[in-house]
Amino acid sequence: MAEDLSISKGLSKANAYQELIPQIKGFVQGENNMIANLSNICAAIKTAFDPLWVGFYLTEGRELVLGPFQGPVACTRIQFGKGVCGTAWEQNQTVVVDNVDEFEGHIACSSLSKSEIVIPMVNSKNEVWAVLDIDSEKLAHFDETDRQYLQEITNLIQIK
């Protein structure tokens, strides 16, 4: 089945998310393959907002391992508690970084990245099984609107 994504031009960020989320729900509902769903979520976010990089890292032991993504080549493995992704995993909370150069221990997968948001994804035991990572070429690109709606998007993918 072909999937089409339609986001109206000129919308506020909140309204763009409000148009995007029902469309994401539409293509993840009824699809049980996690990789397919994560891949389509990356493509949808990249299409709607055109960040530098959007992708998922999946937990494997004490590391995050690169999963589905859109954008330039990325770091393959990130240690627990290291960088923005590892910190979000360790703290089990969303981390917004306005200027990655000022984040102690930032892992520079791309020198073009200036700001970042990372949302941990938890299972029914409140254990982080993945993180959604989005990078922007603009400073202070992410805000409370992104946090709210990206958390809603990550909640669409449930694992036990």
pLDDT tens string 8-27: 888 899 999 999 999 999 98
Q: Can you tell me which residue has the tokens 């994560």? A: 38
Amino acid identity for residue 26 in this structure: G
- Whether residue 136 contacts residue 51, with contact meaning beta carbons closer than 8 Å, is answered with yes
Amino acid identity for residue 159 in this structure: I
In a domain, 5, yes or no: no
In a domain, 160, yes or no: no
In a domain, 1, yes or no: no
Q: Can you tell me which residue has the tokens 């937990």? A: 59
Please count the structural domains in the chain. Answer: 1
Q: How confident is the model at residue 2, as a pLDDT?
A: 47
In a domain, 79, yes or no: yes
In a domain, 64, yes or no: yes
Q: Can you tell me which residue has the tokens 């200027």? A: 99
Q: How confident is the model at residue 154, as a pLDDT?
A: 95
Containing H/E element for 96? Answer: strand 95-97
Return the DSSP state at 116.
E
* Residues of the chain below pLDDT 70: 1-3, 160
In a domain, 7, yes or no: no
In a domain, 4, yes or no: no
Q: In angstroms, what is the C-alpha Rg of the chain? A: 15
Q: How confident is the model at residue 160, as a pLDDT?
A: 56
Q: How confident is the model at residue 3, as a pLDDT?
A: 65
User: Can you give the CATH number for the domain in which 28 is found?
Assistant: 3.30.450.40
Per the structure, the complete domain to which residue 130 belongs is given by 13-154
In a domain, 2, yes or no: no
Residue 35, Ramachandran bin (φ over 0: left; ψ between -120 and 50: alpha; else beta)? alpha
